[in-house]
C-alpha cells in the first residue's frame, strides 16, 4: 500500500479592514505588512468590512469608490487571491443573516458596555443608530461564520473579540456545538506609528492636521514634505530615549522599513543632524511602499480584473459561510435548504 501524504490542516485566520479611507503607514507597518507573512503558515481570509462602514451614513458614491480602493489595496499588498480568500463582506449575504440570529443571543447589557459604542455615541451624538449599537454582533458573525481559530486584534478591538467568544459560547451551550471560539492572533508585532505633528498620539486616518499622517498612496514629494516638517526636539541627536517622542517615532518608522534595530540606527546617524535623519526616513518609507503603490495603480486601472477577483473571492467565502449559516439556522429551528 502506497504511503498517503496527509496535509496538515492549517489554522484559520480572519482579518478585516473597513474601507473608510486609504490606510496610513501606521496601518501598514503596524498590521498590513505582516498579513502576507501571516498567510504563509495559516489559511487566511481577508475581508473589506464595508457593512461596518454604514453606521456613519457615508455618501454612497464615495463609499463605493473606497470599497474598490480598499479591495485593490489588499491585492496590492501581495495577498494572493488564489492562495487566500480575499473578499468584500457585503457580497456574502450570510454575514447579515447570521448577525440577526446572533443579535437574539446577545444580551443588551453586553452590547451597551462596549467601549467603542460609548466613544462613538459621544462623538456622533446626532447619529446614535442601532447599527452602531449592534456593530460588535456583526463583527462576531464575520468571525464565527468561518470557524476562525485566530483573529488579529489591536487593543481597541480586543473587547469585540471577547464578546464574539461570549456569544459563541452562549449559543453553543444553548443549542449545541456550532461555533469555534476564536483566539487572538499573536504574530510579529509591527511598529507603533505616532502622529508626525503630535508624537504622543497614534497616527490616525481621521487626523485634521494634513501633515500629521502619511498615507499609503501619498506621492513621494508629499511624503518627503511631511517628514521634513515632523516634530522633533532641540537635542539634535538621533537616539531613543524618554522625552524624545518625535525622534523615537521616526526611529520606529525607520526600523519598520529597514529592519534595523535602534542601536544600529543610532550608529548610522552618529554625528548627523535631524535634517539628514528626516530625509533618510522619508526615503525609506517611499521605497518601502513603492511596490504597493505601483501595484495599486495597476489594479485600479483594470476594473474587469478587480470585479472578477472580488466575485470569485465572495463565492469562495460564501461557500464556507453558507455551511455555518445553515448549521446555525437548523439549530435555532429555522427551515434550511435540503
d(CA 68, CA 55): 19
Q: Could you give the C-alpha distances from 23 to 66, 112, 220, 289, 312, in angstroms and in order?
A: 11, 29, 16, 12, 24
**Annotated catalytic, 123?**
no
Cell triple for residue 208?
A: 485634521
The DSSP line for 40-104 is: HHSEEEEEE-TGGGGGG---HHHHHHHHHHHHHHHHHTT--TTTSEEEEGGGSTHHHHHHHHHHT
End-to-end CA distance of the chain: 38
C-beta separation of 52 from 138 below 8 A: yes
Q: Could you say which of 36, 180, 192, 205 is catalytic?
A: 205
Beta-bridged to residue 215, according to DSSP, are: 24
Please say if 205 is a catalytic residue: yes
DSSP SS3 for 231: coil
196-226 b/e (C-beta count within 10 Å ≥ 16 → b): bbbbeebbeeebeeebbbbbbbbeeeebbeb
Per-domain boundaries in the chain: 12-190+303-332, 220-298
Query: In the block, which residue shows the cell 470599497?
Result: 67
Each residue's pLDDT tens digit, 129-149: 888 899 999 999 999 999 999
Name the grid cell of 283: 526615503
Q: What is the pLDDT of residue 7?
A: 55
H or E, element range at 311: helix 303-332
Of 120, 226, 244, 278, the active-site residue reads 120
CATH top-level class for 220-298? Answer: mainly alpha
Integer Cα distance of 146 and 317 in angstroms: 8
Matching CATH topology for 12-190+303-332 and 220-298? no
Class of domain 12-190+303-332: alpha beta
Predicted local confidence at residue 167, as pLDDT = 97
pLDDT digits (tens, 9 = 90+) for 227-276: 999 999 999 899 999 999 999 999 999 999 999 999 999 999 999 999 99
pLDDT of residue 225: 98
CB atoms < 10 A from the CB of 307, how many?
A: 12
pLDDT in tens, the chain (338 residues): 344 444 568 999 999 999 988 899 999 998 899 898 898 889 999 999 999 999 989 999 999 999 999 999 999 999 999 999 999 999 999 999 999 999 999 999 898 888 777 777 777 778 888 888 999 999 999 999 999 999 988 766 788 899 999 999 999 999 999 999 999 987 666 778 999 999 999 999 889 999 999 999 999 999 999 999 999 999 989 999 999 999 999 999 999 999 999 999 999 999 999 999 999 999 999 999 999 999 999 999 999 999 999 999 999 999 999 999 999 999 999 999 87
33 is catalytic: no
Active-site position among 180, 192, 202, 330: 202
Amino acid at each position: 500500500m502506497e504511503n498517503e501524504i496527509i496535509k496538515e490542516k492549517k489554522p484559520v485566520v480572519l482579518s478585516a479592514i473597513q474601507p473608510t479611507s486609504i490606510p496610513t503607514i501606521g496601518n501598514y507597518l503596524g498590521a498590513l505588512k505582516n498579513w502576507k507573512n501571516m498567510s504563509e503558515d495559516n489559511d487566511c481570509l481577508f475581508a473589506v468590512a464595508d457593512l461596518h462602514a454604514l453606521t456613519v451614513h457615508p455618501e454612497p458614491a464615495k463609499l463605493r469608490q473606497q470599497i474598490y480602493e480598499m479591495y485593490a489595496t489588499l491585492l496590492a499588498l501581495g495577498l494572493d487571491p488564489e492562495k487566500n480568500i480575499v473578499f468584500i463582506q457585503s457580497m456574502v449575504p450570510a454575514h447579515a443573516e447570521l448577525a440577526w440570529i446572533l443579535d437574539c443571543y446577545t444580551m443588551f447589557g453586553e452590547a451597551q458596555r462596549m467601549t467603542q459604542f460609548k466613544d462613538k455615541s459621544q462623538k456622533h451624538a446626532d447619529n446614535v443608530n442601532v447599527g452602531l449599537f449592534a456593530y460588535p454582533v456583526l463583527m462576531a458573525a464575520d468571525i464565527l461564520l468561518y470557524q476562525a481559530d485566530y483573529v488579529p486584534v489591536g487593543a481597541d478591538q480586543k473587547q469585540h473579540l471577547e464578546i464574539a467568544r461570549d456569544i459563541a459560547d452562549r449559543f453553543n451551550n444553548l443549542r449545541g456545538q456550532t461555533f469555534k471560539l476564536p483566539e487572538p492572533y499573536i504574530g510579529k508585532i509591527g511598529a507603533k506609528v505616532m502622529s508626525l505633528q503630535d508624537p504622543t498620539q497614534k497616527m490616525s486616518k481621521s487626523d485634521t492636521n494634513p501633515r500629521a499622517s502619511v498615507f499609503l498612496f501619498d506621492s513621494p514629494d508629499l511624503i518627503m514634505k511631511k517628514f521634513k516638517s515632523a516634530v522633533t526636539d532641540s537635542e539634535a541627536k538621533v537616539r531613543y530615549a524618554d522625552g524624545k517622542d518625535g525622534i523615537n517615532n521616526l526611529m520606529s518608522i525607520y526600523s519598520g522599513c529597514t529592519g534595523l534595530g535602534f542601536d544600529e540606527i543610532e550608529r548610522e546617524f552618529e554625528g548627523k543632524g535631524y535634517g539628514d535623519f528626516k530625509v533618510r526616513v522619508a526615503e525609506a518609507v517611499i521605497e518601502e511602499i513603492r511596490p504597493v503603490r505601483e501595484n495599486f495603480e495597476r489594479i485600479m486601472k483594470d476594473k474587469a480584473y478587480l470585479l472578477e477577483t472580488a466575485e470569485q473571492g465572495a463565492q469562495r467565502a460564501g461557500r464556507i459561510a453558507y455551511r455555518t449559516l445553515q448549521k446555525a439556522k437548523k439549530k435555532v429551528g429555522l427551515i434550511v435548504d435540503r
